[in-house]
């Protein structure tokens, strides 16, 4: 096995997390960040280092999932999430069967529960994206005899994206949070924080690390849900701050996490038009940012980050396009 130390561009293990045997604490399903033990997260991120080495320096994958089948069940459009799961499964020697709402018995009125029961008989693991919050939980509890991975449930969570985001922060900056007494890592979440499932999962995940400050910047009506703010306040010592504009905080932000305003979550176009285009990270704004910081985005991007920012070395949103 290649050593991480042999390649300087491969990040070291996350500070404060030790590699342990994953088999001791693998959850039955991956539905919510809330359910994942820190030991599992640690082991998963270390495995991500190994997988990255395998792809970058060995030119491919291995046969560890040979004869295993992944069912990709997507009820919403997806490019990165669906393709990254498929690519990962195939690199590890497995195969993939795909269904979507437009080309399945869902068009005939079949329920989610019946679809999941059927797919479970054909595969070893199910990756599910669905527009209804809580759908992945329901599928895992009542319908599937096989592991279910939540690839996004409406405005609920996106746990695999949060794990990728955590890995990206560690790889780019070399650490997550800070020790007691040191300066806090400032993570600013910008955009649609109400419907953005990626920021829900990421905020919950980062709140489990010491030395983090979370800053929420959102258009009016799209603020971080109060129940998530309260949950973090009740379960951790992470400081949470709400601000009206990015200009107030960009100068001391370590991680700027930008999300689009999701038109598909609005009940009518008039409400969407009121907030669309209300923020944009451009070159002028980046001049106010720290030299050592990163800009992230779960993608797809619309107008919230100017394409001119792509050439900035602090723009990290195209550097980690893979699924843990």
Q: Which of 21, 103, 107, 108 is catalytic?
A: 108
User: CA-to-CA distance for 94 and 81, rounded, in angstroms?
Assistant: 17
User: CA-to-CA distance for 189 and 209, rounded, in angstroms?
Assistant: 16
* CA neighbor of 223 nearest in space, from 211, 213, 215, 232: 215
The answer to whether the beta carbons of residues 295 and 317 sit under 8 Å apart is yes
For the purposes of burial, counting CB atoms within 10 Å of the CB of 39, is it exposed (0-12), middle (13-18) or buried (19 or more)?
A: middle
Q: Which of 81, 115, 188, 198 is catalytic?
A: 81
Q: Which of 52, 130, 146, 158 is catalytic?
A: 158
Catalytic residue status for 80? yes
- The one-character DSSP state at 322 is S
Q: Is the Cα dihedral 99, 101, 107, 113 positive or negative?
A: positive
Three-class DSSP labels, 129-141: EECCCCHHHHHHH
User: CA-to-CA distance for 140 and 123, rounded, in angstroms?
Assistant: 14
Q: Is the Cα dihedral 26, 324, 315, 266 positive or negative?
A: negative
Q: Which of 68, 80, 117, 243 is catalytic?
A: 80
DSSP H or E run through 239: strand 239-243
Catalytic residue status for 158? yes
Residue 321 has a CB neighbour count (10 Å cut-off) of: 12
Start-to-end CA distance of the chain, whole Å, equals: 19
User: CA-to-CA distance for 122 and 174, rounded, in angstroms?
Assistant: 41
What residue spans of the chain are helical by DSSP H?
A: 38-58, 80-91, 112-120, 135-138, 159-173, 197-206, 226-235, 269-275, 283-286
Q: Which of 29, 52, 129, 260 is catalytic?
A: 129
Catalytic residue status for 129? yes
- Residues carrying an active site annotation: 80-81, 108, 129, 158
């Amino acid at each position: 096995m290649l050593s991480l130390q042999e390649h300087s561009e491969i990040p070291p293990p996350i500070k404060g997390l030790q590699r342990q045997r994953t088999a001791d604490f693998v959850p039955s399903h991956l539905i919510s960040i809330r359910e994942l033990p820190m030991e599992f997260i640690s082991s998963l991120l270390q495995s991500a280092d190994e997988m990255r080495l395998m792809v970058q320096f060995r030119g491919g994958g291995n046969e560890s999932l040979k004869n295993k089948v992944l069912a990709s069940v997507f009820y919403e459009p997806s490019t990165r999430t669906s393709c990254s799961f498929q690519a990962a499964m195939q690199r590890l020697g497995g195969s993939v069967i795909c269904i979507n709402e437009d080309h399945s018995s869902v068009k005939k009125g079949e329920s989610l529960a019946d679809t999941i029961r059927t797919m479970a008989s054909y595969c070893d693991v199910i990756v599910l994206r669905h527009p209804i919050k809580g759908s992945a939980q329901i599928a895992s509890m009542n319908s599937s005899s096989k592991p279910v991975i939540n690839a996004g449930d409406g405005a609920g969570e996106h746990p695999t994206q949060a794990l990728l985001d955590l890995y990206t922060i560690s790889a780019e900056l070399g650490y997550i949070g800070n020790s007691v007494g040191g300066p806090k890592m400032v993570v600013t979440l910008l955009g649609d924080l109400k419907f953005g499932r990626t920021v829900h999962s990421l905020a919950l995940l980062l709140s489990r690390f010491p030395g983090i400050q979370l800053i929420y910047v959102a258009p009016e009506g799209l603020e971080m849900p109060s129940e998530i703010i309260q949950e973090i306040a009740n379960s951790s010592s992470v400081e949470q701050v709400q601000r009206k504009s990015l200009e107030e905080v960009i100068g001391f932000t370590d991680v700027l996490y930008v999300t689009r305003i999701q038109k598909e979550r609005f009940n009518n176009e008039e409400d969407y038009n009121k907030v669309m285009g209300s923020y944009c990270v451009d070159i002028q704004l980046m001049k106010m940012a720290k030299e050592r910081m990163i800009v992230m985005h779960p993608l797809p991007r619309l107008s919230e980050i100017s394409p001119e920012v792509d050439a900035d070395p602090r723009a990290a949103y195209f550097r980690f396009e893979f699924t843990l």
